[in-house]
Amino acid sequence: QKEVEQDPGPLSVPEGAIVSLNCTYSNSAFQYFMWYRQYSRKGPELLMYTYSSGNKEDGRFTAQVDKSSKYISLFIRDSQPSDSATYLCAMYNNNDMRFGAGTRLTVKP
């Protein structure tokens, strides 16, 4: 079992849809959770950074962490074609950083 599991997709949605991206993990020691967006031929760009269980909202993006279930989510409201990218979840504790494989998202106009 991988430490971080993420459905690679691809996921295709129409413009304006609500997108739900998810990761599960096995190591309960992870305390910090991140979502990165990676456009083709670019480096990962930090979108959301959270600590502990609960929700964090930033514009159209909401990150959700459920430590008891070892499950994190990223929701994108009113999705736009410019949101088309690969979304990577990442988690961190004590110098140990692990990434999911990424979910490729396409938002069609």
Partner 1 sequence: EAGVAQSPRYKIIEKRQSVAFWCNPISGHATLYWYQQILGQGPKLLIQFQNNGVVDDSQLPKDRFSAERLKGVDSTLKIQPAKLEDSAVYLCASSSGGANQPQHFGDGTRLSIL
Contact positions vs partner 1 (CB under 8 A) = 4, 6, 8, 31-32, 34, 36, 41-46, 49, 51, 88, 90, 92, 94-95, 97-102
Which CB atom, from 48 or from 76, has the smaller least distance to partner 1? 48
Query: Residue 31 Cβ, how far from partner 1 at the closest point, in Å?
Result: 8
Which CB atom, from 42 or from 77, has the smaller least distance to partner 1? 42
Which CB atom, from 13 or from 101, has the smaller least distance to partner 1? 101
Per-residue CA distances from 58 to 3, 55, 64, 76, 101 (Å): 27, 10, 12, 10, 23
Query: Residue 95 Cβ, how far from partner 1 at the closest point, in Å?
Result: 6
